[in-house]
Structure formats: C-alpha cells, structure tokens
A and B are shown apart, each in its own frame.
Chain A
C-alpha cells in the first residue's frame, strides 16, 4: 500500500514543566522557518512551575498555517501521563513516539530518549534527542540544525553546546532509522522567501505595536496571560527609551499610567480579566478626566481566578461595561499577529486623539501563538501627539464642537493643566452646578460620535452578498477562515470584527440583509452576539460557543459550520 503524501504535518510535544519542551518548541520553530517551511506553534500549559502536563503543537507546511488543529500526526510523549492528557487528540492516524523504558502505547515508535541522552552527557539532553528525531522525520539534515543549537546554548559554554549537539545528532540518526515506519511521507515545499518572515508571538506584537504607537511607558502587575507583553517591553527597553515599572497592584497600575499620560508620556497597561476588574475605577477616571489610556487585556477563563493559563473570550462584557458612569471607550479585538500590531498602534493614536480609554482584547491563545508572519510593512510614525502648548488662561475642558478639548500637559506653556475626578468646569475645577454638569456630560458623550466615525469596519471574506453570515471577533479569525473550504466561502460571508466597540455602523446593515446568521466565540453565553443583538436589533440564535479553556480547533469549527451551512438553520 502506498503511503499518503502530506504537504503539512502537525506535531504535538507533551511533557511536564521543566522537561525542556519550550526549548524544543522555540528552536524547532526557528529551524523549520529557516529551512523554508511555513510554521505555526501554540501551547497549552498548567498553572504551575514544575510538573503537570504541558503540550505544544507545532504545525509545518507548504502553505501559511494559522490555526489550532486537534488532528495530530505525531505525538511525542515525554512522560506516560501525556497520553491520557491528550487522549482526545489521538486518532488512528496518530503516531505516538516515546521511550519504551517509561511509556507503552500500541504501535508506539520507540526512541530511547533517556538512554541516548545519558550517552550524550546526561538525561537533561533528552529534549535535544527529541529535536534531532523530529528534524530527521521532516528530512532536515542534522548539520542544518546544529547552528541553532550553538546559538541557543553558546552562553553556557562549549561543553554544553557539544553535548547538546551530540544528543541532537544521535536523536537524528535514530529518527532517520524510523522514518520508514511512519504511515505517511512528507512532501513539504521549501520556499526560501519564508526565511525573511518574522517569527513572533502575540505578546511581542502587542509590544511592537505599542512602540510604533509612541508608547514610552509600561506599567503592570504580573498576571497570566498578560505578562508576556510586560516582559517583551522590558526586553525592548534595553535599547529603547521606555520606562518599565512593575507596580504593587492593578489599581496602582492604571492610576500610574494615567499620571504618565497626563504629564505627556504614552503609557501601556497589560493585564488579564482579574486585573482589569481592579482597574475599573481607574478606567472611569480616564473617562472623567479625559486622560488617554491604553489597556491590553489578555483574556483567560474566569470567574475569579478561573483557569489562569488557559484561554477564553469571556471578558467582553467586563470591558464594555466596566467603570462606573457613562463615558466613551474604544475596544479593539485583533484576530492575528499583524492585526495585533496594527490595532495596538491604532489604540495609542485613537486614545490620544479622543482623550479616552482604548482597550486591546487578546487572549491566552493569541498571545502565546506564533507563526511566520509577513511583518508589518514599512514603519510609519504614529499620528502626531495631540498635545498643545498652553497659554495663560488655558482651559483643559474648553467646550468644543466635537467635545474634544485641546490637551495641554504641565510644564509645556504658560497655562495650568487641571484635571479632576470630580465633576468640573472648563478650567478643571470642582463644581456641583447642574448646568455645568449637563454641559460636561454632553461634551464627554459627544466624543462618541467622532469615535464612531473612526471605527474600523468589519472584514468580510467570502461572498459578501451571501445569505449566510458567519461572525467572529478577536482570535477566532483564522480558525474560521482555515476551517472553511473555498466552496463554502462561495456561499457564505465570514465577518471578522477587529473593533467590537463602538459596534461599526455597517454591522446593522450586514445583519439586516443576512438570512442565516451565526456567531462563533469562545465564551459560554455569546457576549458579542448579545452585543450585536442589542446594537443592531437582529436576533442571533446560532452560536458556536465553547468554555473549556481551550482554543477552538479547526475540527470543531469545520464540523459545526458544515452542519450549519447544510441545514441553513436560521
């Protein structure tokens, strides 16, 4: 029987924290990309420092890959429990690879990771044995991989580098001897242009987009999965003018960020749902004082501590309604790494221009996922900082046609910049005058009109005139697109919302024309679907929802959409 020819492969590595999976993942992904393959990697991990079971999925192929797949071609189990942990992702097509000293599974390909590692200098090198075998499976020469290992371990000395390379080579040889046992052959096309693409994750893209938007101050309290952005900014601050401050709590974080903006800096805050909840009063302060704020919220499942290291899109209502009183805000929901960059930059420009808070919503899946990306094009300077030099008699809250008052900063000009959390008059001083109150409420809400005019339209893929409309927001963008066949796209419009609030005006029109509407989102109630119903007045009965802490898989989405389109329920 001839073996199936595959143009892509999905590899899952599973082991406990501390077994070096992270090193395999980052090194292997770089090797794949530099070898000219498209690559994608995502991870799921437990909220603990050692032990447990974590897994990383790496997909490589001839075409760009941007979605999580449950289908597993190769499962590398570094400990016995990994097989139970990933049972639902093991099919008849899955080849399990493990060390028979520790693991047994029907049809398993045996690689004595432990023994080979011990021969190479110690058990600690087992992950390199694994990396070597994977390279062999993908027909990547061992000497192509070696420079990556040298780079990775050079700081640890030549002996460590040599041992790692020995382990890699021995693993490669073992892998080579097993290739014929794989039930498929791989025919992944190499494209040297891929080498020039970026390999970054969502967290790094937030940080890069922020800097492109003029960010020069980041403060945060560490909270998974928002911490990656803080770490990335701290790393970038080694060469750039950025103040990085870890604050005592999230309440301090948001208030510190507002102080930085007030004085003329551009501050970013990064957090997760619990931290954002603590920032609610500060968010309201941003609204009242009309001090810009940019908050990155990487969602994880709640309520309360929930599943700290896993993913969900369950914080939309928190972001829409968090903060007491009425004030305008902007909420962005990037769907991929390129959008993360562009929308974070835009959040800075818009927060500055509108003097209002802008929130970028990602989730654990998006910030921890990476793939080869074409990048962000030529960097353009962010819109000019909208601060003015003040004159004596300056009024921070001068009434204007669009509600936006020219913003001064202290020490720049001869005016006084007075901002107040209390209701205030045009000069920023406290008042309880009903007339002034009314004027100020109107002024703040007027800004929403301008914000609405500048809201990003939903992105439509497929047949824009189709009666079937499939809607997503944030990180579901690519799993929906990859799940759908080109034939399905001829009779359906896939609509991704990069900005979820204010709801773009086009949404109402789009929904009114559609006959069969479905919303796909990773939370249990359909928070975005509810928002669309409220804003557009169209009922949305069909919702693919999930709340198990995992990202949507291609298979889940594909099956559901196929069924939905076939039955055209609506």
Chain B
C-alpha cells in the first residue's frame, strides 16, 4: 500500500491561486516526512473551503458541521489516543461559528493539532467579513466597512495557555510544513494560524500584503516566556511568523482521563464489564 497521504482527486473546489493549495502540499509533505501511518491518522474538519482539506488527502476523516470540528476531534483522540488527530478549518469555522469550542479546547488541551486557514475573509459564502477581517474593510454585507475589532487568535490562545501557538504564511510552503511537523510532534493542543490570501474575495490582504506585513521570528526569540509571547502576539503589521509560544509538559486531556490511569489501551478496545455493573446495581438493594 502506498504510504503517502497524497490523493489523486478528479476535481477540486478551490480557486486557482488559492493559498489552500500550498497548505495542502505542506500538510501532505509534513505527514509523509514524519512517516505517520495514514490508517491511524484522522483529520476532523467543519465547513468552508479550508475545511474541505481532508477531501483531498488519503486519510481518515470526519468532515462534520460548520464550526464543530474541535468537539469530535477531542472525543476521537480521547477514545483512541493511538490516533494522530488534526482539526482543520478556516477563520470563520474555528474562530466564528466554533469560537466557543476553541476556548474550551484550549482549556482541555487535547493532544491534537489545529490548523486554521486565516485569509481574513469568508470565501465559501462569498466575501463577507470574518472574525479576523481588518477594521474598515468594505464587503457586500459590511457596506460601511467592518466596525468590529479583528479577533487575535494567537493572543487569545496564549492567554489561555494553549501550549503550542504558531503562525505560518502559506506563501512559504517550507516554513509552513516545518511548523506543521513541529505541531504534530508536540504533545498537547497545537494551534497554527496560517495566513493565506483569498484571491477571489479579499483584494486587500493579498499575497503581496501578507509578504509585506509579516516577518520571521529570529532564533534568539524565546517562545517559552509566556508574557513575552503574549506581547509578541499583539504585534500587527508586521505580524510575526513562527512559533510564538510553547509550554512543554502541560497535562493533556487524555492524560487526565481516569480511564487511562491504570490501563493505556484505547477505550475502544475494551469490553463492558457487566460484573462491575451488577455490583453497582446490587448496591442499590
């Protein structure tokens, strides 16, 4: 069997020039280079152009509802910790519709990688503002310009001690791939917010704009200083790229589960213990 996650699709729903293509390449390369077993890898996604990602990979997937990628991803990893679990979607999917799940996934810290395609616009619904759209942008709905502050996912994640917080730019496929590899190998909830241009609906934040408004963190930067990382995450135009924050050793959701304290085998491999149930029932006599 071919071990690569590469998948030959007949048709693809993305526009030519979409940042999703490079993210896809980076993701497949990251998975292949790490030698992960695709039968033991699951991509969970919601709805949107970004959330279609698993459709174009050879991998198990749960392509669920808009905004609802994280709850099933958390459960999948919890019931079978042997699986590698990736949650993926766009800025609207993960920060808008699914914002509450994002906050609570940050609290739980499941050992999953979260890839958020951040193009600062809604693509599939045709050009309305996203939670990350910059103030003032005119859209067919925000006809007088976007009034609300853009959401800062990295600052939010660091404030909640998400133990791996990074930003990538799809225009740099190699760095995106390396960050994905790092996130996959990291134990704990790992967020990569991936800047990408939307060639059809966002004429402001273009490939050139992202290139001109980002910079790479240098080697001297220490991602383990949380306060400094938070300060760094507040920087805008230019936005820093790379690993902004890392907290090695935070207990994961699965590690905290009582069912794995004495028995490491996945829950899915265990049988119901009727004797114990009988003794619970008998205790009510």
Residue numbers of A with Cβ under 8 A of B are 195-200, 204, 208, 211-212, 214-217, 219, 236-237, 239-243, 245, 247-249, 251-253, 255-260, 262-265, 267, 281-282, 285, 289, 375-376, 379, 381-382, 392, 409-422, 428-430
Q: How far is the CA of A212 from the CA of B276 in the complex (A)?
A: 10
Nearest A-chain residue to B82, judged by Cβ:
A411
At the interface with chain A, which of B37-45, B186-194, B206-214?
B37-45
Given the interface pairs A258-B64, A259-B44, the reply to whether A430 lies near B75 with Cβ below 8 Å is no
B63 interface hit (Cβ, 8 Å): yes
Q: How far is the CA of A429 from the CA of B43 in the complex (A)?
A: 13
Residues from chain A with Cβ under 8 Å of B252 in the complex: none
Q: How far is the CA of A420 from the CA of B70 in the complex (A)?
A: 15
Nearest B-chain residue to A219, judged by Cβ:
B75
Complex contact B76–A263 (CB within 8 A): yes
Given the interface pairs A256-B72, A265-B75, the reply to whether A379 lies near B62 with Cβ below 8 Å is no
Residues from chain A with Cβ under 8 Å of B141 in the complex: none
Complex contact B60–A418 (CB within 8 A): yes
9 additional contacts, CB 8 Å, given A255-B64, A375-B281?
A199-B284, A239-B276, A256-B75, A258-B62, A262-B62, A282-B65, A285-B64, A285-B68, A418-B54
Complex contact A421–B64 (CB within 8 A): yes
Q: Which of A215, A376, A420 is most buried by chain B, counting CB atoms within 10 A of its CB?
A: A420
Q: Which of A243, A263, A416, A429 is most buried by chain B, counting CB atoms within 10 A of its CB?
A: A263
Q: How far is the CA of A156 from the CA of B278 in the complex (A)?
A: 29
Complex contact A259–B270 (CB within 8 A): no
Q: How far is the CA of A418 from the CA of B57 in the complex (A)?
A: 11
Q: Out of B39, B82, B276, B281, which one reaches A415, CB within 8 Å?
A: B39
Q: How far is the CA of A83 from the CA of B47 in the complex (A)?
A: 57
Q: How far is the CA of A198 from the CA of B284 in the complex (A)?
A: 5
B143 interface hit (Cβ, 8 Å): no
Q: B130-160 toward A: CB 8 Å interface, digit per residue (1/0)?
A: 0000000000000000000000000000000
Q: B244-258 toward A: CB 8 Å interface, digit per residue (1/0)?
A: 000000000000011
Residue numbers of B with Cβ under 8 A of A are 1, 13, 38-42, 44, 47, 52, 54-55, 58-65, 68, 70-76, 78-80, 82-83, 100-101, 103-104, 257-259, 263, 266-268, 270, 272-274, 276-281, 284-285
Q: How far is the CA of A262 from the CA of B64 in the complex (A)?
A: 11
Residues from chain B with Cβ under 8 Å of A198 in the complex: 281, 284-285
Residues from chain B with Cβ under 8 Å of A260 in the complex: 72, 75-76, 78-79
Complex contact A236–B74 (CB within 8 A): no
Q: Which of B73, B82, B285 is most buried by chain A, counting CB atoms within 10 A of its CB?
A: B285
Q: Out of B64, B70, B273, which one reaches A240, CB within 8 Å?
A: B273
Complex contact A263–B83 (CB within 8 A): yes
Sampled A-B contacts (11; CB under 8 Å): A217-B267, A243-B259, A260-B72, A260-B76, A260-B78, A262-B72, A263-B76, A265-B79, A411-B60, A412-B268, A428-B61
Given the interface pairs A256-B75, A259-B73, the reply to whether A411 lies near B40 with Cβ below 8 Å is yes
Complex contact A248–B101 (CB within 8 A): yes
Complex contact B64–A216 (CB within 8 A): no
Complex contact A416–B39 (CB within 8 A): yes
Q: How far is the CA of A561 from the CA of B100 in the complex (A)?
A: 51
Residues from chain A with Cβ under 8 Å of B52 in the complex: 430
Complex contact B60–A195 (CB within 8 A): no
Complex contact A258–B72 (CB within 8 A): yes
Q: Which 6 A-B pairs have the closest CB atoms?
A: A259-B72, A264-B268, A259-B75, A256-B71, A410-B60, A265-B79
Q: Out of A199, A212, A421, which one reaches B277, CB within 8 Å?
A: A212
Residues from chain A with Cβ under 8 Å of B80 in the complex: 263-264, 410-411
Given the interface pairs A262-B76, A263-B79, A265-B75, the reply to whether A285 lies near B42 with Cβ below 8 Å is no
Complex contact B82–A240 (CB within 8 A): no
Complex contact A196–B268 (CB within 8 A): no
Interface of A is mostly: mixed
Complex contact A243–B65 (CB within 8 A): no
Nearest A-chain residue to B268, judged by Cβ:
A264
Complex contact A419–B63 (CB within 8 A): yes
Complex contact A409–B68 (CB within 8 A): no
Complex contact B272–A248 (CB within 8 A): no
Task: Kindly provide the distance from the CB of A89 to the nearest chain B CB, expressed in whole angstroms.
Answer: 29
Residues from chain A with Cβ under 8 Å of B266 in the complex: 264
Complex contact A243–B76 (CB within 8 A): no
Residues from chain B with Cβ under 8 Å of A285 in the complex: 64-65, 68
Task: Kindly provide the distance from the CB of B162 to the nearest chain A CB, expressed in whole angstroms.
Answer: 16
Given the interface pairs A259-B72, A375-B281, the reply to whether A410 lies near B257 with Cβ below 8 Å is no
Complex contact B71–A259 (CB within 8 A): yes
Q: How far is the CA of A125 from the CA of B75 in the complex (A)?
A: 46
Given the interface pairs A260-B76, A264-B79, the reply to whether A195 lies near B285 with Cβ below 8 Å is yes
Complex contact B272–A216 (CB within 8 A): yes
Task: Kindly provide the distance from the CB of B190 to the nearest chain A CB, expressed in whole angstroms.
Answer: 18
Q: How far is the CA of A260 from the CA of B80 in the complex (A)?
A: 9
Residues from chain B with Cβ under 8 Å of A376 in the complex: 281
Complex contact A241–B270 (CB within 8 A): yes
Q: Out of B59, B278, B284, which one reaches A416, CB within 8 Å?
A: B59
Q: How far is the CA of A265 from the CA of B266 in the complex (A)?
A: 10
Nearest A-chain residue to B272, judged by Cβ:
A214
Given the interface pairs A216-B267, A248-B104, A259-B71, the reply to whether A410 lies near B272 with Cβ below 8 Å is no
Nearest B-chain residue to A263, judged by Cβ:
B76
Task: Kindly provide the distance from the CB of B279 to the nearest chain A CB, expressed in whole angstroms.
Answer: 8
Complex contact B268–A241 (CB within 8 A): no
Complex contact A379–B76 (CB within 8 A): no
Nearest B-chain residue to A416, judged by Cβ:
B60
Q: How far is the CA of A420 from the CA of B259 in the complex (A)?
A: 29
Q: How far is the CA of A538 from the CA of B57 in the complex (A)?
A: 54
Given the interface pairs A249-B100, A410-B40, the reply to whether A259 lies near B74 with Cβ below 8 Å is yes
Complex contact A422–B63 (CB within 8 A): yes
Complex contact A252–B83 (CB within 8 A): no
Residues from chain B with Cβ under 8 Å of A211 in the complex: 272, 277
Nearest B-chain residue to A378, judged by Cβ:
B278
Q: Which of A211, A239, A241, A413 is most buried by chain B, counting CB atoms within 10 A of its CB?
A: A241
Nearest A-chain residue to B258, judged by Cβ:
A237
Given the interface pairs A237-B258, A413-B39, the reply to whether A196 lies near B285 with Cβ below 8 Å is yes
Residues from chain A with Cβ under 8 Å of B280 in the complex: 208, 236, 239-240
Given the interface pairs A410-B83, A416-B58, the reply to whether A208 lies near B281 with Cβ below 8 Å is yes
Complex contact A252–B60 (CB within 8 A): no
Q: How far is the CA of A382 from the CA of B197 in the complex (A)?
A: 52
Complex contact A257–B100 (CB within 8 A): no
